[in-house]
Amino acid sequence: ETTNAETGTGEGTTTGGSNSLPETVVIGSDIPYRPFEYETTSGELTGFDVDIAKAIFEGELGIGYEFKPTSFDSIIPSLNNNNFRIIMSAMTINEKRAKKVDFSDPYFTAYQTVIVRQDSSISSKQDLKGKNVGVQKGTTGANAAEGLKEEFGGNLNLKKFDQISGAFQALMNGQVDAVINDNTVNAEFVNGKGEGKVRFLEGEGAAAEQGKNAPPYLTLTVEEYGIAFRKDDDEFRKKVNEALAAIRESGKYDEIYSKYFQG
Ligand code: ARG
């Protein structure tokens, strides 16, 4: 079914192939991951990644785009199996992933953060020792939790959920004591469905140590998001990098940024 893509002669190439500019790019993404990719109450797909995709593909490259919901844990093998052309899923660039995919230039800075219930006795990183910690499978949040577990000599109980919503739910109903996840996604929950019920763990951390503009709560890591491509997709990746630079230059990136984030 990927004949067109493979020969590069057909039209409407979507998921596979190495022809550099498809008519429509199919984007693999784990949804919902609010505010990056989620549905509005009326069922419309929206979010920071979705708006950035629109600006890059429709706005700069003049092609269509389409999001394909995919489990985050298997999203890289799925890309390499030609199920879609690229990944846009608030995905952190790291060495392990870079062995299997190529990343665009970074487009967003994020931090791993910890949230607990409002009335929790947990007030520092050390207090997480012996606790149940919820994460999304296959994420850098899961890696950070594994790191903590090691630091505590194995004395931490990790619960892995297919989607972040499962971890949030488990935090609300007491099944886990904390959730480790990307800062802005945690913030969306703290200020949304979890308002008055959950809070960030306070403290300095990786962000401050690295001299960045640190969020006002504990940060376990500093990370950058990238768009992921197959290793044979260099021409397309270069065009996307150019488009990303163009939307930063034009102010479109900032416009989208301020739609979803303050400051
Ligand atoms: N930034 C984290 C990572 O790369 C979490 C991303 C999860 N994204 C999603 N759409 N569920 O591992």
Q: Identify the CATH number of the domain in which residue 255 sits.
A: 3.40.190.10
Instruction: Assess whether 190 and 146 both reside in one domain.
Output: yes
pLDDT at 12 over 90: no
- Which pLDDT does position 17 carry in this prediction? 55
Q: Are residues 123 and 216 in the same domain?
A: yes
Residues 102 and 190 in one domain: no
Average predicted confidence (pLDDT) for the chain: 92
Structural domain of 199: 109-223
* 200, 124: one domain: yes
Residue 161 near ligand 1, beta carbon < 6 Å: no
Provide the domain count of the chain.
2
* pLDDT score of 10 more than 60: no
Query: Does the Cβ of 145 fall within 6 Å of ligand 1?
Result: no
Query: Model confidence over 211-220: pLDDT tens digits?
Result: 656 688 999 9
- The secondary element (H helix, E strand) that includes residue 257 is helix 252-260
Residue to probe by mutation, ligand 1, list 91, 100, 160, 185, most atoms within 8 Å of CB: 91
Buried b (16+ CB within 10 A) or exposed e, 134-172: bbbbbbbbbbbbeebbeeeeeebeebbbebbbbbbbbbb
Instruction: Quote the ligand 1 centre to 4 CA distance (angstroms).
Output: 31
> ipTM of the predicted structure?
0.98
How high is the pLDDT of residue 2? 38
Q: How confident is the model at residue 84 (pLDDT cuts 50, 70, 90)?
A: very high
Pocket test for ligand 1, best of 39, 92, 225 (most atoms within 8 A of CB): 92
Share of the chain above pLDDT 70, in %: 90
Name the pLDDT band for 87 (thresholds 50, 70, 90).
very high
124 shares its domain with 73: no
163 and 199 inside one domain: yes
Is residue 11 located within the same domain as residue 30?
yes
Query: Are 118 and 95 within one domain?
Result: no
